[in-house]
Each structure stands twice: as C-alpha cells, then as structure tokens.
Homo-oligomer: A and B are copies of this chain.
Amino acid sequence: MSKVFFKPHEAIGENDRIDLDKVLAQLNFNADGLICVTTQCFKTGEVLMQAWMNKTAIEMTLATNKLTYWSRSRQAFWVKGESSGHFQHLKSMRLDCDGDAILCLVDQMGPACHTSRLSCFYLEVNNKSNQVQLCSPYFQKTVQEEQA
C-alpha cells in the first residue's frame, strides 16, 4: 500500500529531495488509475475546478506545462483549453501528505468553466434558506499583486 511510501516522507526537511519517478509510481491512484486534482488560480487563490489525472496525464502536464486531465466521460486525455483556448499554464504542482490528491496552481487563460464562468464552483449552498444559489468568485483581488 503506497501510504507506506509517504509516511516516512512526512519528516521531509528543506534540503531533502525525492525522485519524482518513485513518487509517481507510489501515488494512490484509485481503482480506475486516477487521482483527484484541484486546480487553483495562482494569482487570486480562486479554486477553479476539480478533475482527474492518470499517471500519464501527470507526466504530460509536467512535460508541456499545460494542464492535461483524463476525461472520465470521454475516456480520453483532455488538454484543458485545446478547443476553447482557455489553457491552464502550470505554476506549481503539489501532492498531499498521503499521496492521494494533487493541487495545481495555474495561470488560467480566460474562464476555467465551460459555462464561461471564471470558476466551476458557482453554486453556493444557502444554509439558512436550504436553497442553492448563484455565487461570485470568493477571492476578488490578486493575492500575488498584494504581496508585491
């Protein structure tokens, strides 16, 4: 079980390095060979979408710096932006503590959602009315600009 691989790396220090090949071989892919990916705008912090990658899609993303998912509905590689032009340029790929999730910080060209909205997460639960309603992006300002 590959969680065994990640456990000792919890103590990773600033100068430690792990071979990428070894890490990719030990990622906790699900029964379909997929891992959950959250994609976030590197400027604003807005979470844009959630999708899936297999090992090859991860390697394609790293080789091209363009986010490449595995489309479960089409059962095919999906270079985000290939048809729309709304590419996601990779700024940072991060793995979680037990190797079963990926976070990609990206420079998003145009909107991330096929509905032309900035983010796919535009439906918000209103906990008081027990309804779901449209919501705006949560992070309006550019975090990185503010830090400059």
Binding site for B on A (CB under 8 A): 9-10, 12-14, 16-21, 23, 36, 38, 40, 42, 44-47, 49-50, 62, 65, 90, 92-98, 100-101, 103, 105, 113-115, 117, 120-127, 129-135, 138-141, 143, 146-147
Contact = CB atoms under 8 A, between A and B. Distances in A.
Nearest to A100: B50
A65 B12 CA distance: 33
12 contacts: A18-B123, A20-B130, A36-B36, A40-B45, A40-B47, A45-B143, A90-B127, A92-B138, A94-B135, A101-B120, A101-B121, A141-B143
Contacts of A36: 36, 50
Given A50-B36, A97-B120, A125 B17 contact: no
A50 B97 contact: no
Given A95-B123, A124-B92, A134-B13, A45 B46 contact: yes
A43 B133 CA distance: 22
